[in-house]
Amino acid sequence: MRTRAVRRAQENKGGKVEMLYAYLTSNEFVQHITRIVENYKAMKDQLNSERTAMAKIWAQREKQIDVVEHNIATLFGSIQGIAGHELGTPDLLGLPAHPGE
């Protein structure tokens, strides 16, 4: 049984090798590889572009959050200046006591 399988694998081995070599050196194979490489590069470029865009968006969002935190802390400080310490601390809001912390 095993001998028959080995014999079958060996049948026309030279012809199969020649066919494989012919395919690997053909324009069709080169075109397939070229399309794969082009698609890979396009996907990689798109991913890098998206990564850069998201980093920019996150940086903008962080600046906006910093401004909001600063404004809330300033407002809280103004109210606390009028009401005194009875108002409590900015910890109540989950914000830093001083902007930029």
Percent of the chain with pLDDT over 90: 51
* Chain centroid, CA 65 distance in Å: 23
Compute the distance between CA of residue 69 and CA of residue 90 in angstroms, rounded to an integer.
Answer: 11
Task: Give me the residue spans of the domains in the chain.
Answer: 2-93
User: Quick check: 91 and 73 in contact, CB under 8 A?
Assistant: no
Give the percent of the chain with pLDDT over 70. Answer: 84
Q: What is the mean pLDDT of the chain?
A: 85
Q: What is the largest CA-CA distance in the chain?
A: 98
- In which residue are the tokens 């082009």 written? 38
Residue 73, number of CB atoms within 10 A of its CB: 19
Write out pLDDT tens, residues 8-48: 777 777 888 899 999 999 999 999 999 999 999 999 999 99
Report residue 76 as tokens. Answer: 């809280």
What pLDDT sits at residue 2? 74
Q: Is 10 strand, coil or helix?
A: helix
